[in-house]
Amino acid sequence: SEGDILTNSHVVNGADQVTVTLKDGRSFEGVVEGEDSVTDLAVVKIEADTGELPVAPLGDSNQVQVGDWAIAVGNPLGLDNTVTLGIVSTLKRSSASVGIPEKRLDFIQTDAAINPGNSGGPLLNQSGEVIGINTAIRADAMGIGFAIPINKAKEIKDQLVRGEAIAHPYLGVQIATLTAEIARRNNEDPNAGIMLPEVEGVLVVRVVPETPAAQSGLRRGDIILEVDGQSVVSADMLQSKVENSQVGQILQLKIQRGNNTEQLQVTTAELDSST
């Protein structure tokens, strides 16, 4: 009712002003109050008389469960006000695990049809409450779409409206979940470029030069076993631990390198969200 509109950063794409068209045909000039490319969220402000604007009730994404109904609303391929129905397929699907390493998010995954033009639209539950902001799809598959949980979106929105910069701690690695079975299959492949220990952890696929990971001594092929004494058994877990740390925080890593285990310290830095 205050004229704040949550959408995706890639929808406004760096614009200062946008045109917002409502379902009833009315158009408003909107001002981009703030955006954050790393979480792909933006807030657009429009001015209208109090009570004139429709309001979508916001749900609680922490209460969403796998198998819940999911309803996507948007304008895919220019087809206004398209509604599709599916279910919640998975929760806390990390952006790194779905091939979007430049983002720092845990998505709601849904099989409700999401296509170009759905970005920034709501994902609703069966009560009509917004549980997510539709943001991405897997172009190489059908029935796999991703939405930013509304609780996370609300948190970022409040910071953007206050004019605050969104801090994103990072290490500077590309990672993948490693299990004993994955390592075994890799090691049996005569074309494998590297032999992997048959353990559970997070495989360092690449270390980006001149980043905290590189400065700490992490190398390609290292297996991260623990962070601050807690086991990490998936790329999702490691990403979540880093994202929930503070910029400049020292993390204690236990790694396996070949047949040996080692301890490393890495100090998180702030990811540049302007790129």
Examine the residue annotation and report whether 10 is marked as an active-site residue of this protein. yes
Examine the residue annotation and report whether 89 is marked as an active-site residue of this protein. no
Give the sign of the dihedral formed by CA 122, CA 43, CA 241, CA 114: positive
Query: Dihedral angle at the C-alpha atoms of 102, 108, 109, 110, nearest 10 degrees?
Result: -140
Token pair for 255: 């790694």
List the catalytic residue out of 36, 37, 40, 234.
40
- Side chain identity, residue 133: I
The HSE-up count of residue 15 (CA atoms within 13 Å, CB side) is 17
Please spell the DSSP secondary structure of 67-90, one letter per residue. T-EEEEEE-GGG-TTEEEEEEEEE
Examine the residue annotation and report whether 40 is marked as an active-site residue of this protein. yes
List the catalytic residue out of 9, 37, 94, 119.
119
Residues assigned a catalytic role: 10, 40, 119
